[in-house]
């Protein structure tokens, strides 16, 4: 089966059909430039059809025994395991991800499907006491109804599944809008996978389209009660504003500008390895990536020499080659943005400790040092293979620099003293931070999300139950109430 041939369509109410829009979304291999798929864009009317289908199907699905619901996700997991090599090849082709990246994404996706099987059984209600004699208070936890999911292009299979599978497991219907650069991996592949696993028709719908065609119809539509968005801060702010205007709940997983902090007592070789992976995984197109490497000045020279040498050894090239570390960025526009950001930083006085290059979608890594404290790039999310090395004098300055950004998603601290690392980590304004590890982590039962401009709300585990369910209070008066008149 060729995913790009078979799945280049809309998936609405259990049927594969063409989009009715007047233009086409072209899916392209970012390394070769090969056209992978052509999909006619869905219209606002088709978005309405998708939401209405999910609404109809959800009513029956919510009544299905959760032990039965979980079987869908168990079967989906087995399908991924059976088709893993084929899916790996598709991830490499559509996203320009290396084999290592594809394996990482598939591992996360499988973990999320395993978690979905547990979540199906965890929407627990409560019986609460009352100050009124004879009254019984029951608090039920119910699905919200329908969830709209908007997924990004960098880890589209995992980041879409992170909302789609739990929302369905908890009894909801879902409409998924994948990014235009990942319509198969982040969209229709998921529809096919869950269809094959026995998900009832209509519950999951996938609309491949663009705001140029549908405007804000995906968010404004009256059916979805929750919008789960993963993407840039700029678009996230817009999603939040539109959702709030329609009294919808929004779960926003946005950008980052993470710092990995290397203290004076850190294991430098280990810190170098952690920093290189934290910055250059998937060419730096990761929201949790360590844009900034903060190093105590007492070990700056030694650390930087080892760090630059390791970055220089990374192989840039064909993502299909198992030895490649860095493949292409998602498109030439993204690569040109990286080039512009670097040029501006150099013009402001930064030094290229390692001089990279930009050619088409391929960006060889840059390591920049000597940045002025007010350099614009220090406060910016860099979605590509550029890293900033910043020295500091002591923990107070390290914390101040780490917090000097509008974002607060992830981070890391390296030290020979675990509790020292924990104390410092508690002072960094970020939703997640890791002691003696990298900045890129996502575990299915641990709340994931950011502070400041990095998002609103959390996903994973109990946080996912809060995101995709609601509570209902039903009281029962045993005996007769007394009323004042």
Active site residue 397: no
User: Rounded distance, CA 431 to CA 225, Å?
Assistant: 25
Marked catalytic residue, from 253, 300, 381, 395: 253
Active site residue 253: yes
Marked catalytic residue, from 195, 233, 287, 381: 287
Q: Which residues are catalytic?
A: 253, 287
């Amino acid at each position: 089966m060729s995913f790009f041939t078979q799945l280049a369509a809309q998936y609405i109410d259990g049927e594969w059909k063409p989009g009715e829009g007047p233009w086409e979304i072209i899916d392209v291999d970012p390394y070769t430039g090969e056209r992978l798929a052509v999909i006619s864009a869905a219209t606002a009317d088709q978005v309405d059809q998708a939401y209405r289908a999910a609404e109809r199907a959800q009513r029956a699905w919510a009544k299905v025994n959760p032990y039965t619901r979980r079987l869908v996700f168990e079967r989906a997991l087995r399908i991924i395991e059976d088709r893993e090599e084929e899916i790996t090849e598709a991830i490499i082709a559509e996203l320009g991800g290396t084999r290592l990246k594809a394996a990482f994404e598939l591992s996360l996706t499988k973990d999320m499907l395993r978690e979905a099987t547990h979540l199906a059984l965890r929407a627990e209600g409560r019986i609460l006491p009352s100050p009124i004699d004879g009254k019984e208070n029951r608090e039920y936890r119910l699905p919200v109804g329908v969830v709209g999911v908007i997924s990004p292009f960098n880890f589209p299979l995992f980041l879409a599944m992170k909302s789609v599978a739990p929302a369905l497991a908890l009894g909801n219907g879902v409409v998924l809008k994948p990014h235009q650069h990942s319509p198969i991996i982040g969209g229709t592949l998921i529809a096919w996978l869950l269809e094959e696993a026995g998900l009832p028709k209509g519950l999951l719908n996938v609309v491949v389209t663009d705001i140029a065609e549908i405007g804000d119809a995906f968010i404004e539509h009256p059916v979805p009660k929750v919008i789960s968005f993963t993407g840039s801060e700029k678009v996230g702010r817009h999603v939040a504003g539109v959702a709030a205007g329609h009294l919808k709940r929004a779960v926003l997983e946005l950008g980052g500008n993470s710092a990995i902090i290397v203290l004076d007592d850190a294991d430098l070789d280990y810190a170098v390895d952690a920093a290189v992976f934290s910055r250059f995984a998937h060419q730096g197109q990761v929201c949790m990536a360590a844009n900034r490497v903060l190093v105590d000045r007492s070990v700056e020279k030694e650390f930087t020499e080892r760090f630059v040498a390791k970055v220089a050894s990374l192989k840039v090239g064909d993502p299909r080659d198992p030895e490649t570390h860095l493949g292409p960025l998602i498109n030439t526009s993204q690569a040109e943005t990286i080039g512009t950001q670097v040029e501006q930083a150099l013009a402001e006085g930064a030094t290229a400790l390692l001089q990279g290059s930009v050619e088409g979608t391929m960006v060889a890594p840059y390591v920049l040092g000597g940045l002025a404290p007010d350099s614009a790039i220090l406060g910016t999310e860099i979605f590509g293979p550029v890293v900033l090395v910043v020295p500091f004098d002591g923990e107070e300055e390290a914390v101040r620099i780490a917090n000097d950004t509008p974002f607060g998603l992830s981070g890391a601290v390296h030290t020979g003293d675990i509790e020292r690392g924990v104390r410092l980590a508690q002072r960094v304004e970020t939703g997640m931070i890791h002691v003696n590890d990298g900045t890129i982590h996502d575990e299915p039962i641990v709340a994931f999300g950011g502070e400041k401009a990095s998002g609103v709300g959390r996903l994973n585990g109990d946080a996912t139950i809060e995101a995709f369910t609601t509570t209902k209070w039903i009281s029962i008066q045993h005996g007769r109430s007394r009323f004042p008149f």
